Structure 1
Amino acid sequence: MENFMAFNFQELPFVIISLVIAFTIHEFAHAFTAYLCGDPTAKNQGRLTLSPIAHLDPIGTILLLIAGFGWARPVPVDRRNFKRPHLYGILVSIAGPLSNILIAVVGIIVFYSLFTTGVVDGVSEKGIDFIDRLINMLVYLNVLLFVFNLLPVPPLDGYRVLEDLAPDRVRAKMMKYEHFGVIIFLILVLTPLDRYTIYPIFNTIVPAVANTVDNWIRPFFESGI
């Protein structure tokens, strides 16, 4: 049965907890930023909340566990409520990925805080193993989501940023043919082609980003600051 899962059963509890946190905060960040920029659409639809029920998509979550690719419920945004549609659109789009890298940063800080201050000295070996695996999975998945969502292909946040950087005339053409891009994207990530497209990116960029963040934070704890 494990052969049909993107993660093995031993990892599953850590994956589920990490994804619930990552997806919920990611979508909340979109909704909150849109609200700050003048669009109450997400708030009016009950999405300005940290309740996972409001943000998780059952099919997208299950598919991520099985295939390693999934999604949360997209936050509704009405650009007509923005005084500066392009700028505010970019801010709303990048808010989600930035929230994921922030979670990863907090996770690394918590990890070093726990293991360098003696907080876990009295915790059992199983308890320490649980904490270690949970934080590592939380960091890994959030860095992965940060990188993944910044890819400039529809329907990801990176593509939305690209749309808002383009002139209105170009943006209109991009939106017209966007559905073709979505189909191509799904083919690239849900077929054996993913070994030559998505996974090479993940296998290089995700570890590089995670190591960069770790290398930036670790010295503060090693020096006793």
Structure 2
Amino acid sequence: MDGFISDIAFTASIWALPVLIAITMHEAAHGFVANLCGDPTARLMGRVTLNPFAHIDKFGTIVLPILCIVSGWALAGTPFVFGYAKPVPVAMSRLNNPRRDMMLVAAAGPGVNVLLAVAASALLHTASWFPQWFGAWWEATLVNGVLLNLVLAVFNMIPLPPLDGGRIVTGLLPYELARRYVRLERYGIFIVVGLLFLLPFIGREVGIELNYLMRLIMVGVHYLLQFVLMLTGQI
């Protein structure tokens, strides 16, 4: 039992920093670009900040990652952590060029996650500089930082509102199509949850592989990871 608890504690310690940095920078990037494009809403609400407490969602930032860690160890011994923060408010009508700027605001979050993955991968070269006990923790934290940021980047680029990819698609579509497409926003998160969790669960129950969305996400992560590792001299 003590070993199980210590394993969970270590796992939590190597995920905490990547989760906080990834979601904080993702949301702050949305607000920062929105402010540059004419909408100061997020800045005035204190959301253009690197203070993680301004972005924390009690469930998405704290409870969900903990559930991932505990359930991952209990079921497979290899947890994968996921989470999210409070969305940054953007007043589209206040943007200088609403359709173009909304796409820039949406792209800023995943773009920052890719940059964070590159930074974490580059810092892996420093793991050997430290004593073994700290170097092992530092390396595991950085590896998690690379993977988490890439998963967040690819996941958020799914072309379904309210995800960032959906907002980009909305900006690219002709006005009439965009107006209809954006109506999916009220159902979008339920569609994603269904594809990620409910459909695979049903598939397991009936003996059919239905985990298509996660497979697609991991294909994107794989190719992005190869690019990041090559760019930072890891391969």
- Structure 2, unmatched stretches of 5+, are 2-6, 69-80, 202-209
Q: State how 1:99-110 maps to structure 2 within 5 Å.
A: 99-110=112-123
Is it true that 1:82 corresponds to 2:82 in the alignment? no
| 1:154–1:185 contact (8 Å) kept in structure 2 | no
Q: State how 1:1-225 maps to structure 2 within 5 Å.
A: 9-61=9-61, 62-67=63-68, 68-112=81-125, 114=126, 120=129, 123-193=130-200, 196-218=211-233
State the Cα distance separating 1:45 from its structure 2 match: 1.1
Paired position in structure 1 for 2:77:
none
| 2:42–2:88 contact (8 Å) kept in structure 1 | yes
Q: Secondary structure in 2 aligned to 1:191? A: helix
| 2:39–2:95 contact (8 Å) kept in structure 1 | yes
CA–CA distance in structure 2, aligned partners of residues 78 and 69 of structure 1: 28
Q: Secondary structure in 2 aligned to 1:203? A: helix
**Corresponding pairs, count:** 209
Q: 1:103-133 CA deviation, whole Å, 9 max, x = no partner?
A: 1111112222x25xx7x1xx32111101111
State the Cα distance separating 1:53 from its structure 2 match: 0.7
| 2:151–2:218 contact (8 Å) kept in structure 1 | no
CA–CA distance in structure 2, aligned partners of residues 35 and 173 of structure 1: 27
CA–CA distance in structure 2, aligned partners of residues 40 and 28 of structure 1: 12
State the Cα distance separating 1:8 from its structure 2 match: 5.2
Q: 1:50-76 CA deviation, whole Å, 9 max, x = no partner?
A: 110111111112224424553210000
Q: 1:181-218 CA deviation, whole Å, 9 max, x = no partner?
A: 33222211232527612321243221221122111220
Paired residue type of 1:76: P
State the Cα distance separating 1:91 from its structure 2 match: 0.5
State the Cα distance separating 1:39 from its structure 2 match: 0.2
Paired residue type of 1:152: P
Paired residue type of 2:86: R
Paired residue type of 2:211: Y
| 1:86–1:164 contact (8 Å) kept in structure 2 | yes
CA–CA distance in structure 1, aligned partners of residues 213 and 143 of structure 2: 22
State the Cα distance separating 1:35 from its structure 2 match: 0.2
CA–CA distance in structure 1, aligned partners of residues 17 and 212 of structure 2: 28
Cα gap change, 1:192/1:173 in structure 2, threshold over 3 Å: closer, same or farther?
closer
State the Cα distance separating 1:9 from its structure 2 match: 4.7
Q: Bigger CA drift: 166-175 or 148-157?
A: 166-175
Cα gap change, 1:23/1:188 in structure 2, threshold over 3 Å: closer, same or farther?
same
Q: Bigger CA drift: 7-16 or 162-171?
A: 7-16
CA–CA distance in structure 1, aligned partners of residues 10 and 94 of structure 2: 46
- Structure 1, unmatched stretches of 5+, are 2-6
CA–CA distance in structure 1, aligned partners of residues 66 and 164 of structure 2: 21
Q: Secondary structure in 2 aligned to 1:31? A: helix
| 2:31–2:48 contact (8 Å) kept in structure 1 | yes
Paired position in structure 1 for 2:74:
none
Q: Secondary structure in 2 aligned to 1:92? A: helix
TM-score, scaled relative to structure 1: 0.85
Measured on the aligned residues, the alpha-carbon RMSD in Å equals: 2.2
CA–CA distance in structure 2, aligned partners of residues 26 and 177 of structure 1: 23
Paired residue type of 1:50: L
